[in-house]
Amino acid sequence: MTTTPGSPETPEVLRPHAEQAYADELAALRAHDADTGRVRPPSWQLSPGAVTTYLLGGELPDGTHVSPKYVGSRRLVEIAVASLATDRALLLLGVPGTAKTWVGEHLAAAISGTSTLVVQGTAGTAEEALRYGWNYARLLAEGPSEAALVPSPVMRAMCTGALVRIEELTRIPADVQDALISILSEKTLPVPELDTEVQARPGFNVIATANNRDKGVNDLSSALKRRFNTVVLPLPDSVEQEVEIVRSRVSALGRSLDLPADLGAGDGAPSEIERVVTVFRELRSGSTLDRRTSLKSPSATLSTAEAISVMTNGLSLAAHFGDGVVRAADVAAGLVGAVVKDPVADAIVWQEYLETVVRDRPAWADLYRACRELG
């Protein structure tokens, strides 16, 4: 992930917003839109085509390099942008670690110029977070008035014609979710206490993210589901792509944690990253990479994000307790821990995998031994 230094006037923060970090790219894309005269939907900062370029990266005629924000299918990004352009709310679905929030943030930054209108969904999210609340001191002193009203991010987005993001929609209790239904279909938010209403300005829309493989979530009602266009963000397509994502993230994390370890291999043998990614991909897809042997899948998600944490863990073990090079023994514990989440069912899956696949790969003998030693 490329980072451009924030604009000079912003004070240094741990993590700047997308629209701050990539202000130059957005400005260049806006200029390019103006040059080519491409049509922008009402209140959009960029044309749909430019938004797609912003997410997937590219080279503009004026020489500006647009860094790729999302590594993956162009088709999915096009569908997401086209959904927003047809005034439909967008639901980004996917297992943890598939860049849902990341894509949502960048879409909002590119389309509305701001990614700060966001509702973080939790089990405790109340209806006020989606509609409006009251400043009770003022309410008691002056009675109901516009001034006593505390608008939610959704209400503010309606007033300004911007995109609002709702994170982890499925964690919000079902009755609170229902508040969205009328907002999405009528595009108005009535305020009966003041006998008034807020009508959404053009450009208002909702991007929600949700986890489709998590426990303890509130499934969306079909009425709500119907109001969303659903885009499922998949895990990376190819081993190479995933290895590259893991390698770059692990190196970056290793640097920030000051871990002086070497990711290993490179002398023809498969590196630990490749093996971990291979194990993850095989178990999750239920078949070996050569498609010759079918496997059982464990209950764990085994996302790219988990592969990254297994590798970071291995890196840390190698740096502090090993010889500084990540070896099979360093990743084995993390690997087993990531796969075996249910001590009975997953243990069988893992043992089968170990005995029928790992054992038969001559180059994997060290990993097999390391995993066997862990029991």
Partner 1 sequence: MTTSVLVPLGVRHHGPGSARAVRAALEELQPDLVVVEGCPELDPLVAHVADPGLVPPVAALVYAADDPRRAAFYPFAAFSPEWVALRWAVARDVPVRFADLPAVHQLAPEAPDDAGEDARPASYPDVIGTLARTAGYDDPERWWEDAVELPDAAGSVLDRFALLREAVTEVRDAHRAEHPEEDLENARREAAMRRVVRAALKEGHERVAFVCGAFHAPALHLPDFPAAAHDNRLLARLPRTKVAVTWVPWTHGRLRLASGYGAGVGSPGWYDHLFTWADRDRDGVVPAWMVAVARALRTAGIDAPPASLVEATRLADELAVMRCRPSAGLAELQDAVLTVLCEGSTLPLQLVEEQVVVGQRLGEVPEHVPMAPVAADLARQQRAVRLKPSASVTEAVLDLRTPNGRARSALLHRLRLLGIDWGTPVDAGRTTGTFKEAWRLQWDPGFAVALVDAGLRGTTVADAAARTVAEDAAAAPDLPALSDLVEACLLADLPAGLTAVVDALAERTTHQHDALALAESVGPLARTRRYGDVRGADTTRVAGLLGTVVVRASVGLRAACASLDDDAAARARRAMETCDEGVTLLDDAELRRPWQEALAILAADETVHGSVGGRANRLLLDAGVVVPSTAAERMARRLSPAAPAPAAAAWLDGFLAGDAAVLLHDDDLLRILDDWMAGTADVVFDDLLPLLRRTFARFSAAERRAVARGVGRGPARPGARSVALDVEAAAPVLAGVARLLGAPGVGGAVA
Q: Which is nearest to 310 in space by CA: 345, 273, 256? A: 273
Per-residue binder mask for partner 1 (CB under 8 A), 269-298, x = binder: -----------------x------xxxx--
Told to check if 213 binds partner 1 by CB under 8 A, we report: no
Number of neighbours of residue 267 by Cβ within 10 angstroms: 6
DSSP helix/strand/coil, 90:
strand
Told to check if 341 binds partner 1 by CB under 8 A, we report: no
Shortest reach from residue 72's CB to partner 1, in Å: 15
What are the backbone angles phi and psi of residue 132, rounded to the nearest 5°?
A: -160, 160
Binding piece for partner 1, criterion CB under 8 A, among 115-123, 201-209, 315-323, 352-360: 352-360
Q: Identify residues 84-143 at the interface with partner 1 (CB under 8 A).
A: 85-86, 88, 91, 93
DSSP helix/strand/coil, 125:
coil
Nearer to partner 1, 88 or 201 (CB): 88
**Close Cβ partners of 32 (under 8 Å, ≥ 6 residues apart):** 50, 60, 61, 62, 64
Run of H or E including 211: strand 205-211
Tokens describing residue 77: 């990004």
Nearer to partner 1, 79 or 265 (CB): 79
Per-residue binder mask for partner 1 (CB under 8 A), 7-46, x = binder: ----------------------------------------
Nearer to partner 1, 52 or 152 (CB): 52
Rg (CA), the chain: 24
Tell how strand 132-134 and strand 205-211 pair up: unpaired
Shortest reach from residue 28's CB to partner 1, in Å: 20
Binding piece for partner 1, criterion CB under 8 A, among 174-182, 188-196, 306-314, 342-350: 342-350
Tokens describing residue 22: 């990539």
Tell how strand 65-66 and strand 58-59 pair up: antiparallel
Nearer to partner 1, 81 or 315 (CB): 81
Told to check if 221 binds partner 1 by CB under 8 A, we report: no
Answer whether 85's CB lies under 8 Å from 229's CB. no
Told to check if 48 binds partner 1 by CB under 8 A, we report: yes
Tell how strand 188-191 and strand 196-199 pair up: antiparallel
Told to check if 352 binds partner 1 by CB under 8 A, we report: yes
Contacts with partner 1: how many residues (CB under 8 A)?
Answer: 34
Answer whether 189's CB lies under 8 Å from 198's CB. yes
Cα 191 from Cα 254, distance rounded (Å) = 51
Told to check if 186 binds partner 1 by CB under 8 A, we report: no
Nearer to partner 1, 13 or 344 (CB): 344
Told to check if 356 binds partner 1 by CB under 8 A, we report: yes
Nearer to partner 1, 93 or 367 (CB): 93
Per-residue binder mask for partner 1 (CB under 8 A), 295-334, x = binder: xx--------------------------------------
Among 71, 79, 181, 217, binds partner 1 (CB under 8 A): 79
Run of H or E including 164: strand 163-167
Cα 17 from Cα 12, distance rounded (Å) = 12
Nearer to partner 1, 132 or 228 (CB): 228
Per-residue binder mask for partner 1 (CB under 8 A), 149-168, x = binder: --------------------
Nearer to partner 1, 73 or 188 (CB): 73
Cα 264 from Cα 184, distance rounded (Å) = 51
Cα 306 from Cα 302, distance rounded (Å) = 6
What are the backbone angles phi and psi of residue 106, rounded to the nearest 5°?
A: -70, -35
Interface residue list for partner 1 (CB under 8 A)? 48-49, 52, 75, 78-79, 81-83, 85-86, 88, 91, 93, 222, 225-226, 228-232, 286, 293-296, 344-345, 348, 351-352, 355-356
